[in-house]
Amino acid sequence: MQLANTPYFERPLFFFDQGRFRKALTEGVKPPLTIFKDAFAAADTQMAERFREGEDVRTLVHERALFIDCLLHYAWYQYDWPNGISLLAVGGYGRGELHPHSDIDLLILTDGSAAPDTIDNIERLVAFLWDLGLDIGHSVRTIDHCLELAAEDITVATNLMECRTVVGDDSLRERLTEGLAPDKLWPAEQFFSAKYAEQCDRHNKQQAAEYILEPNIKNSPGGLRDIQTIGWVAKRYFQVRTLKQLQGQGFFTEDEFAILQSGEDFLWRVRYGLHLLAGRAEERLLFDYQRELAKQFGYVDSGTQLAVEQFMHNYYRIVMALRELNDVLLQFLNEAILQRGQHQVVKPINERFQLRDNTIEVTQTRVFTETPSALLEIFVLMAEKPEIRDVRASTIRLIREHRHLIDERFRADPCNAELFMQLLRSPRGLSTQLSRMTRYGILGRYLPEFGRVTGQMQHDLFHIYTVDAHTLQVVRNMRAFRSPEAWQKFPIAAEILSRMRKPELLYIAGLYHDIAKGRGGDHSKLGVADADAFCRRHQLPGRDRRLVCWLVEKHLLMSHVSQKQDISDPEVVHDFAREVGDREHLDYLYALTVADINATNPDLWNSWRASLMRQLYQATQRALRRGLENPIDREEIIEETRSQARNMLRAMGLPIGAVENIWAQMGEDYFVRESADNITWHTAAIHQLHSSRGRGNQKDTLVLTRNSGPGEHDGATEVFVYTPDRANVFAAVVTGLDMLNLNIHDARLYSSASGYTLDTFYVLDESGQPLLDEPRRLEQIRNTLQRELALVEDYSKVIQRRTPRRLKMFELESRAQLSTDPGNHYSTLEITSADRPGLLARIARIFLAHDLRLHNAKISTLGERVEDIFHITDARGQPLLDEAANRKLEEVICRELDAHQINHQ
């Protein structure tokens, strides 16, 4: 055995007494593993405390690597080693960087001449390190084997390029490094292409967005990997060991280097804290940790923003700046490496810009100083000329250096206003250029109100993007409505866009619909002033200005009516049509609403919401054609529906007398709200049930399932329940459906004069889709509900399913509001609460305890919360008119739902 007390001389570690450590190893009072573990635990605790006290994260990251070097050095010398072997640090550890739970990547490098018994020592060393609790990743290779693998895999090559010797013969590393040189392996051109492709693939896996709710601080755009990619490519090309060696060589400016350094400092601090909170190598900034990190970093709630929202706002702004810098530096390297020595064709565009091999650049460096309008013109040119694929790095730098010229005077210049409107009217490339303008800091300066929401998030599961990213996605969706594919997925929106008078008005409404988020108050109303100012500054005619402002103020209206009101009610449709006023407003509002829903959360838009939106649009069209002064007659609807259903039932061979007897038990609402197709389905099934009972079948409950066809409520699975009207029916059905992981989106409940209840539930699976043709699953639904309804007289089940992780992160105080419209025969109860398994069953219990009858329910799940609407009466079928009793009921509902929420944490 070699001497365990061989000193490790690198830099001093003031918190680690090496003399005392060596002495403990030499004296042998404790087993070596215990001595190592004690040292590791003490250092771990000490560095965690220093982090919490605010010590510089760079010091901690590098000292942690140095400390691990030290432990590895002493661990190595617990064994005897021949010549021709060494222990190397590779990857991030090779750069001398270690976070609390980062992998410690090790390479045991040999020249191939090491004695065979060395394998035993290697196995013992690795086992010792694992027992010590180090998260090591290791490999044992010869120099030739390393070079073979590096030639095949760019990731292996990259890791090896950053290797350094921890202990052993450093000449092995020198020979390996010589073999990895660009003239022998991965020339700069190939290396750049491979790393750039690797980055593109990584961004795509992260949804190509730096703005996702729970970003990966390492792999998301603008994350640590983007900084590392810049370093890898630049160091490979310039043949330097660190980026700092490139200062003053024209690769980056002093400001750019400062952004890189400060951005890396911030992300390192977040990562360090994240590892400590998670107790593992966690790179995802999950909700579980965002709030705690915000608190640790000193953020506090304000009147308009939570501490966590402020923290994440800062995070998003920093990663956006890093992504912008990644763009310009990689573009610089692309030009320096891939285009080096190539013949370049230069074509003039105008006095200010020229094309260099399909890349736009300024004709001279003073372009933006002499003509500030060129800061907008360049994006207009790129939108109008599809052959322009990118911007030269030098021009990107000039844009960034001169964007301060976009001030009040610039914004007031009619020439610049016309340029921006020209961009909005461009036939292609609008969303691409708006995104590019955002990344280069131009859009937020030209539209300061947009700049204020850049990087702004809402701490919930409904809005999964920051306000600016969501806004740009809305415009992108609007432009996509013009594509051939849109006629399949968004047929109404595609048809609307094909004949829209001025699409640019839609885009302006899209840019401004959420512009007032985070200011406190109703953002729909607050945003009108900004939209109006934009329209006046850009000299839009009064008619266009009023349309844009109306769209901003009413952008939530169609979504609200379609999802929270009973759109089968002709009065609801008529009121909405009066609000809209004409076909043009309806068209613009529909296109804005569909684009908005799809940009809020990809999971929101499903066949169910598409169906509701289509029904409301078409019903409103009919109302507008009929004339707002001619509302549809209720009796006319009833007679037309009954006539259609009667004809279908007659064609099926049902005796009309029996049909009329069944219908005689139904109230008018049933024939107003249900389609002729549904009524035919229900009636035929009820008739068959009663007929079979007469032949000795005592079954009195009917459960039917089917997937809705074209027309009303297509895009969902219908569950029809016909059973004797008892108190617990709704609770039993919703519990059964919840047990099957089915989400209820609509419920229609009717009581017949014969003592039966007819309930239709529209359900979707957990992915927001109908069950399609799944006979076994549909049969499972029928059997489960029959079983639950059989227990309805003594019903006590409440769902105890596990609450998903994300939902647990949100404590939402429940709200209940009970109101009665004098024109209605029921009261409306609106409940907002945290989404938890069994919530509907809990609400049903509350109704039962207070002797309330439920007639209709609209169920909306918006991320971590539900916003449900129930139409209820008292036990006698009368609306709830006692205001004092209603307030007390609201308090009881909130108290019980919040207690339910706490029990599910």
pLDDT over 70 at 586, yes or no: yes
> What pLDDT score does 727 carry?
75
Strands 865-874 and 852-858: antiparallel
pLDDT band at 606 (very low <50, low <70, confident <90, very high): confident
Residue 860 has a pLDDT of: 78
pLDDT band at 619 (very low <50, low <70, confident <90, very high): very high
Q: What is the mean pLDDT of residues 459-478?
A: 84
Considering 431-445, 448-462, 835-849, the range whose residues carry the highest mean pLDDT is: 431-445
Beta bridge partners of 390: 359
Q: How confident is the model at residue 7 (pLDDT cuts 50, 70, 90)?
A: very low
pLDDT, tens only, 649-664: 999 999 999 999 999 9
Q: Which of 172, 147, 142, 144 is nearest to 160 (CA)?
A: 147
pLDDT at 9 over 60: no
Q: What does the pLDDT look like over 176-204, one tens digit per residue?
A: 999 999 999 999 999 999 999 999 999 88
Across the beta sheet with 164-168, the strand order is: 136-142, 104-110, 85-89, 164-168
- In this prediction, residues 430-449 reach a mean pLDDT of 96
* Average model confidence (pLDDT) across the chain: 89
Which span out of 403-412, 562-571, 693-702 was modeled with the highest average pLDDT?
Answer: 403-412
Banded model confidence at residue 8, pLDDT cuts 50, 70, 90: very low
Higher pLDDT, 89 or 801: 89
Mean pLDDT, residues 836-863 taken together: 81
Give the model confidence (pLDDT) of 206-218 as tens digits. 765 656 778 999 9
pLDDT at 796 over 80: no
What sign has the CA pseudo-torsion 397, 403, 405, 410? positive
* Pick from 553-557, 815-819, 834-838: least confident: 834-838
Across 312-329, average pLDDT: 93
Provide the H-helix boundaries in 754-882.
Answer: 775-790, 805-808, 839-849
The reported pLDDT for the residue numbered 207 is 66
- pLDDT of res. 249: 80
Instruction: Answer yes or no: are the C-beta atoms of 159 and 93 closer than 8 Å.
Output: no
| pLDDT score recorded for residue 801 | 47
Q: Cα separation of 90 and 714, whole Å?
A: 57
Q: Return the DSSP state at 284.
A: B
Among 751, 747, 694, 697, which Cα is nearest to 722's?
751
Taking residues 793-817, report their average pLDDT. 62
Question: Taking 80 as the threshold, does the pLDDT of residue 378 lie above it?
Answer: yes
> Mean pLDDT across the stretch 539-562?
97
Lowest pLDDT segment from 31-35, 585-589, 753-757: 753-757
